[in-house]
Structure 1
C-alpha cells in the first residue's frame, strides 16, 4: 500500500531528526564523578519513599527503571548506588546540547530537558542527508560533552521518535520513505506514539497487536473508539504525520506536587498540605503570567494507585485562594483508603490568553 493518502498531506522530502540523550541524568553524574563510571547508579532518593528518576545502563539489566520505587530498585540490584539529582546542573548541560543543535538548524523543538526534534531539511551547513546531520550532532556531543545520544531520522516526527529508540544506547537509525510501511507494519502496538498500557489493552481487545493489524481498522472505527486520538492512530499506521517542528511551544499547563516522607491520613492534614501546594502553584503561575480554567488534583495512594480529579470554571484560576477552595472540594469528594496518601499535586490548564497591558494615554 502506498504511503500517499489523498486525505492527508504527507511530505516525504522532509528530513526530521529526533535526538534523545542516553540515561541523561545518570550519564552526567558518571561523567562528572569518575568513580561512578561503569557502576550501576540511580539518580533519586534512596529512602523508602524515594523514586528512581533515571537509571544508568549498568543498572538496567537488573530491571531497574525510571519511576520505580527506590526500595524495589535496591531489591533488584543490591549494589545500586543512589545519587541525589542536580537539576541546575542538568539544565546547564541541556543548554550546551541545545547550542550544538543550533549550529545545524534553528528549527528545534524541545520535548524535555534531554530530547528534541530538529527539522534539518534546509540546514545551515547544506548537508543533503538527515542521517549525516544526525551523525555529526552525535559526534559533537560525544567530543565536546563526553556524553552519548541516540538519534532517529525520517520524514516525520512520529517515525523519527520511534527510530531514536531502535538502537539505544548511542544509536542511529533511519526510516527511509520506501521502507517505512514495512517498518510500521511490524511495530508492536505499544510502540506507537500515544499508546500506553491502558490504550494497548483496548487495542488488544480489538485484536490489534501490531501496525499491520492497526492499518486494517477503518478511520470511522478508530475515531469511534478513541476519538481524536483515533484519527492520529489511523495516520500513524500509514506513515502520515504532517505536524511541523515548532521551535517555540506555548506553555499549556503549570503544576506542582509533593511526595510526603510519611503517608498522610485524614482530611485535615491533607488539606493543610494542599494549602501549601496551592500557594506554591499560585506563585509559579504568577511568575509565568499564566491563568487557566481547568484545575486538576492528582492523588497517589500508599499502594501507588494514582487518580486525578478536575474541575473547569467559567472564569479562570490564578490566585491562591481560588485554587485552594476548588482543590479542597475535589479532595473532599475522594475516599481516602486506610493506607493514606503518599503524593498530592495540583495543576492548572486550559490557558486563558494573557491580559493585555492598558493602553497609555496622553492626558
Structure 2
C-alpha cells in the first residue's frame, strides 16, 4: 500500500468532511504530503492544463517520470516509471520538463509554514514531513484536525498547491492516513481506533514490508495486519529474522515509539546520471564524473558540510550495479578532490565495460567548523577559493555562469557500442 492508497471500503468514518471530524484527542502526530507536488507546482502557471493529464519528466530516452497529476494517474502513469512506458499508457498526455530549483523554493516556503505552527518538524523529502503538534494545541487554540485544516488552507493560499494530511497518535499510522486522504483531504485515526484502522489492511501496508518480506509472510498464511498481530513472535522470527519480527509485531499492535526527529543530520550527499546511450569512452565517463562532482561539492558548501568518504555507483548495460568507496585523510567540499577520487575508483571498477549510469556520493559528513587534518596531498587552497568564487557568481548570474572548461561544450554521446 503506497503513499497514494485509496481509502478502503468502510473507512469513510476516518475522513474529515463537512460536519464530521473524528475524535482527534491524543492524535498529535501529523504527516503532511503534497499532492502530485512537481506537477502541481508546474500547473500554477499553466491553469489551462489542470484538467488534462500532465506528466513532468526529462526528455531523454531513458528518463523517468518525476511526477504525474491525477488525470494522468487514471491512465496508470506513476512516478519513477520510464517515460517510454508513460507515453504508451497516456499518448495524449502533456509532458513538461522539470524546472530545476523551483521545487526547492516552494518546498522551503511550505516547510516554513509548518515551522511557524510547531518547531517539531521532520522533513522526509521536498514534499512531505512529519509534525508533532501536541505542544502547539493550547498556543494555537486548535485541535490536531484544526491544525491540519489550517495547513491545507495556508499551503493552498500561499503556494497554489494542495496537500493531504494524516492525523494519528503514532507516526506510521499518520503516514498511512495521509495516503488514504489523497488528494486534498484529511484522515484522522482516533487513538482508540488505531487497531480497528490497521487490522483489516494488507501486510504490505506495514512500514518495512517490501516484496520479499511480503512473500515470506504470505507463505505462512499471513495476509492482513491482524494476522501479523495474532502470530506468535517465534513464528515471525523464523520468517523474517529477529529484528524485523519484533518491529512488525509492534507495528501490528499499533506501537511505534519513534518521535518526530528535528533537523536530522544528513549522512551523505550525492548525484547520479543515466546516459541516453550506454558509454565506454573514458573521456565521456570522466567528464560526467566531473559534472557530478561539481554538483555534489556545491551542495556540500551550500550546507556548510564536508565529507571524508567518496563513493561511486556504476550501473552497467546489463543493469548489474556496483559501488566503490575510498576514505580520504580529511573531509572535503572541493570538487577537484571528489573528482580525482571518483576517477581513480572508476578506473579500478570499469575496464572497457559499457556504462548505463554513473553516480557520485560523499559520506561521513561533518560541519565546516570542525578541525581539519593537514595533509601533503591536498590541493592548494586556491582550488577551494576558486570554487567558492564560482558559487558566488552562480548565485548572481545563474548555474551556467561558471563551469569547468571541459563541461562548457560537452561532446555528444557516441552511438551505442562505439568506443
TM-score by length of 1: 0.81
Q: Which stretch shows the higher mean deviation, 71-80 or 326-335?
A: 326-335
* Distance (whole Å) between structure 1 residues aligned to residue 215 and residue 351 of structure 2: 27
SS at match of 2:360: strand
Q: 2:36 aligns with which of 8, 14, 23?
A: 23
Structure 1 residues 30, 308: CA separation in 2 closer, same or farther (over 3 Å shift)?
A: same
Equivalent pair of 1:211/1:237 in contact (CA under 8 Å)? yes
Indicate yes or no: 2:230 matched with 1:240: no
What residue in structure 2 maps to residue 137 of structure 1?
A: 151
Match of 2:16?
A: none
Q: Retained in 1: the 8 A contact 2:169–2:190?
A: yes
CA shift in 2, pair 1:333/1:342, >3 Å: closer
Residues 32 and 128 of structure 2 are in contact (CA less than 8 Å); yes or no, is this contact kept in structure 1? Answer: yes
* Alignment partners' CA distance in 1, 2:215 and 2:253: 21
Deviation at 1:55, TM superposition (A): 0.4
Match of 2:285 in 1: 270
Corresponding residue number in structure 2 for 1:58:
71
1:217-236 to structure 2, matched below 5 A, reads 217-218=232-233, 221-222=236-237, 225-226=240-241, 228-236=243-251
Output the aligned Cα RMSD.
3.2
TM-score by length of 2: 0.71
Give deviations 1:199-227, integer Å, cap 9, x for gaps: 43444445443312322151795498356
Question: Which residue number corresponds to residue 151 of structure 1?
Answer: 165
Aligned to 1:173: 187
Q: How many aligned positions are there?
A: 343
Helix, strand or coil: the match of 2:140?
coil
| Corresponding position of 1:193 | 207
8 Å contact from structure 1 (residues 219, 231) kept in 2: no
Q: CA deviation at 1:275?
A: 4.8
Matches within 5 A, 1:323-342: 324-325=340-341, 328-329=344-345, 332-333=348-349, 340-342=354-356
Question: Which runs of no fewer than 5 residues in structure 1 stay unpaired?
Answer: 1-11, 359-363
| 33-42 or 99-108, larger mean C-alpha shift | 99-108
Going from structure 1 to structure 2, the CA distance change for 1:273 and 1:140 (only over 3 Å counts) comes to: closer
Cα contact 1:299–1:343 (8 A) shared by 2: yes
Q: CA deviation at 1:245?
A: 1.3
- Quickly say closer, same or farther: Cα 1:88–1:268, change in 2 above 3 A: closer
> Offset of 1:279 from its aligned partner?
4.9
Indicate the SS of the match to 1:162.
helix
State the distance in 2 between where 1:343 and 1:17 align: 37
